[in-house]
Chain A
């Protein structure tokens, strides 16, 4: 892949999301401490780190499920630190979850339709009559879902199945579909590859690159992932967290050679000997 070219694009692009020294603690546990980074428009930005490093907490702070104790989060020039999650979704931040969080009683199509929630305008009265405005709006939204999302993610065959019955890999894909239905500007992906087999991982990586690069989408992605192969292949920049603190940031090749990162993942040589003895 032509990584050099992508680097240049991302360096010039304007900052879309700025995380400004956020900290959050749960009881006595300092989950993240003073983490800052900037995500530029159109890039794939990965957050990696060992288990418990605070990657998902960071993502939850960006999507609004947690509120940071200190620090600010700025999205497209607006300070969204105190916004509730639904307002952030309206602003264009969509996400997927580490542990699949689909609406298990609904069909695949209805799950994706819910992703269009912020774009639908019909209120209680016009919805209960379901003529004119609402019916038109539903058809338009359906057209978008079928032609842009279901077609892109290749889930035509399961659109009327109840999601609870689907295999894990497809559920992950439906979750991505639901997030894309929001037509997001920023997509937060929390371990999209976890638990997938090689073929599914390749598919998922292809979908992420598609929505990132295609002129139609151009979605900025923040990726939290343990599969280093994928992260190093598709990311423009990588941030490494360890015990809630940022220890490195840069292009994938730079991060791979960073001694701090190697120490975080493998431990000190002395430590290794100490534990073996």
Chain B
């Protein structure tokens, strides 16, 4: 199994390790999943997400290439601003979802999913035109600090004032550190990219702050689920289009118009009775008809009930539609909920 440069730090912290996308990653630490989840919502949590891929496309025509490979427009994206989008195949299926930061005109930095790195890189490279440069930052690590105290922690531990950086904004220091104000938890927070040989020092420095706890991938999953964010390979994949995934908001007008109208839509599900429904549970109409399968699901510590995501036929996709979820043969009543389950507490976007 592959390891990130922080692997030894996780072992030293007594993390329960497990495989994710070919990497041996921390699933949770001593605090446990539930308390880690709550800690991020209340304080600040540090994640090692170095398994993710960091790449760059630059040169004349870089923006045109991105507008060819994604359904988004980068025309109005400001310099040092980031956008969420998806890579599409020729059948409008989602190859990956990613963050694209505009470092400068025709200069884009991207963070792609660990499990998709190889195919994404091959796909982008095969589409490169003359004059375009592709860089894979293979020897860079990525840390995420998430939670309401993140800005204060980075100020106090690193001496960096990020108060002027808006949500989805970028800050960097020479070629030693790239910071973007975003994340996968719905909280204010930052993703920090540094060369591998600086990762452990940075990790320890941030963790030395009492307001910070290390957080594993299990809580990362429950945090993102509460926000209705997609997990690639589960909630979205090459068989789903962005319109089906309810990601139309990332799309340009022309891309949206040329895509077939969806017959199903990704929605939130909340159990209205006790129990926990997980990925793979079948969602049925009250009449017993099979409607879809949970693409993710679990217990929401914040809402204290079981939530999930599912693709439902449009007739059943309206909020408050009553359905059942089959959990080991027991039909648990549930209702359709508009995503996200929780209101994001990210810093407000500023012009």
Do A and B pair up? The answer is no
Q: Please give the residue numbers on chain A whose beta carbons come within 8 Å of chain B beta carbons, in ascending order.
A: none
